[in-house]
Amino acid sequence: MGSAIMVANMKGGVGKSTLTCYLADYFRKFQKKRVLSLIDTDLQGSTYEMLGTDGRFANLRHLPVGDRYDAVNLVTVDTLVRSHLGTANDLLLIDTSAGKPDNICQIAMMCHCLLVPVSINWGDIRPTRDFIQEIQERKDSARAITPHIIVVPNRIPHQQRDYSRLKDALSELDVVIAPGLSDLSIVRHQTQKFAGIDPTKGTRFHDEIIHFGNFVTEYVVGGKLDDIYADTNVIELRR
């Protein structure tokens, strides 16, 4: 089955577009056999701009889906996600806007997995928790095990490796915490002209983004999370 991965968080500025671009570059480099499609649903179109100038991403679309925007785009995104899930091996990566439009949650429910970047600052953690709670409620009422919710600690300061505050805040929720990503000034400066993973070579971020990409490949695309959740359901039924 194809994988539809959405990068989402109702908090702005947490690194959604940045993560989308780096993961896209990771897939392009390390998952050559899979066809990668990208949708930027944010009106601002950061991902569309960052990757659009690159020219190496053929299947890149800008389809703004917000509170007021285009019902037509929503239908298009809906159709693309559905057709994607029916294909073998393909990858679909969706970047989203801040805020919590119902449209975004609707698309999220169709996806295989949600990547939720967040810093370890309380100001980011609190709205992130609310956002995850909302998705969780939708999953529970639909009795769905997907989208898997993967929290991605981002912009971690150099000396700070302790995620305990983040873990504590999310302890009541059914989430997986991915390997974290450091704060790196080159990353901040790539916003205007995105040149991919290569310019970060020699930094901690470089190894981390590859490690993160491998994690997504194994657990999401490779189906490890599906297996774990399927087993959990079996255990719960037996109880």
Ligand X SMILES: Nc1ncnc2c1ncn2[C@@H]1O[C@H](COP(=O)(O)OP(=O)(O)O)[C@@H](O)[C@H]1O
* CB 189 to ligand X: min, Å: 7
Q: How far is CA 132 from CA 99, 171, 233, in A?
A: 13, 12, 21
Q: Residue 36 pairs with which residues in a beta bridge? A: 91
- Closest contact distance (angstroms) between CB of 16 and ligand X is 3
By CB under 6 A, name the binding residues for ligand X: 12-18, 46, 98, 154-155, 181, 183-184, 187-188, 191
The CA R_g of the chain, rounded to the nearest whole Å, is 17
Q: Provide, rounded to whole angstroms, the least separation between the CB of residue 218 and ligand X.
A: 22
Window 37-56: contact mask with Mg ion (x via CB under 5 A) = ---------x----------
Residue 187 binding: pick among ligand X, Mg ion, none (C-beta 5-8 Å cut-off by kind): ligand X
Interface with Mg ion (CB under 5 A), residue total 3
**Which pair of tokens denotes residue 148?**
């898997």
Q: Taking CB under 5 A as the rule, does residue 17 contact Mg ion?
A: yes
Two structure tokens written together for 84: 């994607």
Q: Are 94 and 107 in contact (CB under 8 A)?
A: yes
Cα 176 to Cα 147: distance, rounded to the nearest angstrom:
12
Q: With respect to ligand X, which residue has the nearer C-beta, 152 or 169?
A: 152
Query: Can you read off the two tokens belonging to residue 27?
Result: 């897939």
139 binds Mg ion, rule: CB under 5 A: no
| Strands 91-95, 36-40: pairing kind | parallel
DSSP secondary structure string, 58-71? Answer: SEEEE----SSS-H
Q: Which is nearer to ligand X, 181 or 225 (CB)?
A: 181
Comparison of 148 and 155: residue with beta carbon closer to ligand X: 155
Q: Out of 11, 16, 112, 155, point to the residue binding Mg ion (CB under 5 A).
A: 16
| Helix/strand/coil for 204 | helix
Q: Which residues make up the interface to Mg ion (CB under 5 A)?
A: 16-17, 46
